[in-house]
Amino acid sequence: MKKVIVLTGAGISAESGISTFRDSDGLWEQYRVEDVATYDAYLRNPELVLNFYNERRRQLFAAKPNEGHRQLLRLEDRYDVHIITQNIDNLHEQAGSTNVLHLHGELTKARSDRDDNLIIDIGDRDIHLGDLAPDGAQLRPHIVWFGEAVPNIEPASKLCEQADYFIVIGTSMNVYPAAGLIHYVPRQSPCYLVDPKAVPISRPITIFQEKAGTGVKKVVDELLSL
């Protein structure tokens, strides 16, 4: 089976009602990254940061996958599909996608502040100061904050090296190392982009300049017609 690797960003979840980060109504308009999404911010004001992610988790549990997430499922009949997502929501999983690799962590998980490998499922529960991991350390969101290492970048780059087809959906390609993954895709493998805005990508790519809700279907139809 040929491999389709899909890289998704906040844009694929926009039509589910989850704000993107950099659009004009995006989250960074309301919060400064250095106040909520760095380890320093967490040390400075843990309650603010925990509440920020508690709010994101509540928003997620009020949301549902949209047509963009759902269309990707159709590819699984014909291709070995792997989704690499920068999103911390679980809307790909809710839509039924089988292989989802989260680059920047997951809202439905928490981990020990002392041991990065001690990860627990919390589902829709809030995290508060005083909530402890099994090792007795404070629980923190299982999120890769700016400036932190991205442990899944290695398996993600391996997947990209094996891509027969590569699809990019709803990402401004501003956040590294995720944005660099496209450089691992073999030169001869066709690439597709779905995003209503022009996204700078320095290789030949077929562009569907529209929202995921309509654009993903077009890419999927094309791949299924080959």
Residue 138 binds to ligand NAD (criterion: CB under 6 A): no
* Helix ranges, 79-211 (H): 91-95, 153-161
Of 100, 18, 29, which Cα lies nearest the Cα of 60?
A: 18
CA–chain centroid gap for 82, Å, is: 13
Q: Which of 104, 128, 142, 183 is catalytic?
A: 104
Provide the token pair at 135.
Answer: 């090792």
Residue 63 binds to ligand NAD (criterion: CB under 6 A): no
69 in catalytic set? no
C-alpha 116/C-alpha 142 separation (Å) is 9
- In this complex, which beta carbon is closest to ligand NAD, that of residue 9 or of residue 65? 9
> With CB under 6 A as the contact rule, which of the stretches 3-11, 117-125, 149-157, 182-190 interacts with ligand NAD?
3-11
* Binds ligand NAD (CB under 6 A): choice among 21, 52, 79, 145: 21
> With CB under 6 A as the contact rule, which of the stretches 80-88, 113-121, 181-189, 201-209 interacts with ligand NAD?
80-88
Residue 104 binds to ligand NAD (criterion: CB under 6 A): yes
* Binds ligand NAD (CB under 6 A): choice among 6, 10, 181, 220: 10
User: Which residue's CB comes closest to ligand NAD?
Assistant: 11
C-alpha 72/C-alpha 215 separation (Å) is 11
- In this complex, which beta carbon is closest to ligand NAD, that of residue 31 or of residue 137? 31
Cα separations (Å) of 155 from 73, 159, 160? 21, 6, 9
Residues 175-204, one symbol each (x = binds ligand NAD by CB under 6 A, - = not), give: x------------------xxxx-x-----
Burial of 144 per CB tally in 10 Å (0-12, 13-18, 19+): buried
Residue 95 binds to ligand NAD (criterion: CB under 6 A): no
SS3 content of the chain, % helix, strand, coil (to 5): 35, 20, 45
C-alpha 197/C-alpha 100 separation (Å) is 25
* Strand order across the 191-194 sheet: 100-102, 80-85, 3-8, 165-169, 191-194, 206-208
What's the min distance (Å) between Cβ of 150 and ligand NAD?
10
Residue 81 binds to ligand NAD (criterion: CB under 6 A): no
Binding site for ligand NAD (CB under 6 A): 9-15, 18, 20-23, 26-27, 86-89, 104, 170-172, 174-175, 194-197, 199, 211-212
Please list the active-site residues.
104
